Amino acid sequence: MAEKSCSQCEGTGWLLVNEDGKQVARRCRCFFNRQTEVLWEQARIPKRYRNCSLGNFEVHNDSHRDALKISRQFVKNYPAQEVGLLFIGPCGVGKTHLAVAIIRELIEKNNVPCASYDFREIIRDIQGTFTPDSNISESDVLAPVFDVEVLVLDELGAKRTTAWVEETVFYIINQRYNQKKLTIFTSNYLDTEEEADGRDAFYKKGGDSLVDRIGVRLRSRLYEMCKVVEIWGDDYRKIAKQASYRF
């Protein structure tokens, strides 16, 4: 709602209301609506996920049901929620959908500043600051990642770990951990223990597990700051798409 079009407050964002016989100034509803719109724009939700909500998340198996329940609980608990979430599972099971849906609810219901970043994008942006003609610094890239109340870090481990990447990611995550800020991670890499597990090949791209991808130190930090939510299932994005083709 544009400021000038509000008939309630005539664009001032304030209303004078009677309380116990006294006139007091209160924020008009349009003020909060406008704030919500700004927060939504700042949340950097990728186009293809912009319509994702908890309401339109499709439940096809028990892991979807559990993950949805945990997501709703997370929103309900906020700001008392103490740990973040780590959604783990193969491509197309709805990890990013849920992560985005959670921050949508937090923005729309509580006006919480949230942002979504692709892990690879942060790494690329930081690397970009190393070129001599870059006019932004590493701290320019990292400031919003550190500061935002709730961060979605998508596709954790989707880039081969080098010592530098591992150090950088640990730095980011540790910073948020120390500031007690909530982070919601998604990863395609299953957190396998050493023993062999019988799960499907989706998880075993080149034999890598989450530990192979992010290192032991980061994994243990993740466990301290997140509830791990495993999602499994058929690639429903593919199935839904196929089902929509009519012949």
Residue 59 near Zn ion by CB under 5 A: no
Residue 35 near Zn ion by CB under 5 A: no
CB of 2 to Zn ion, least distance (A): 10
Contacts with Zn ion: how many residues (CB under 5 A)? 5
Residue listed under structure tokens 């950097």: 44
Q: How far apart are CA 117 and CA 120, in angstroms?
A: 8
Residue 8 near Zn ion by CB under 5 A: yes
CB of 181 to Zn ion, least distance (A): 32
Q: Is the Cα torsion angle 159, 162, 166, 172 positive or negative in sign? A: negative
CA distances from 152 to 103, 158, 192, 225 (A): 8, 15, 23, 13
CB of 110 to Zn ion, least distance (A): 20
CB of 7 to Zn ion, least distance (A): 8
Residue 9 or residue 54: which is nearer to Zn ion going by CB? 9
Q: H-type helices in 22-129, by residue range? A: 29-42, 62-77, 95-110, 119-128
Residue 103 near Zn ion by CB under 5 A: no
Residue 6 near Zn ion by CB under 5 A: yes
Q: How far apart are CA 186 and CA 165, in angstroms?
A: 17
Residue 28 near Zn ion by CB under 5 A: yes
Residues in contact with Zn ion by the rule CB under 5 A: 6, 8-9, 28, 30
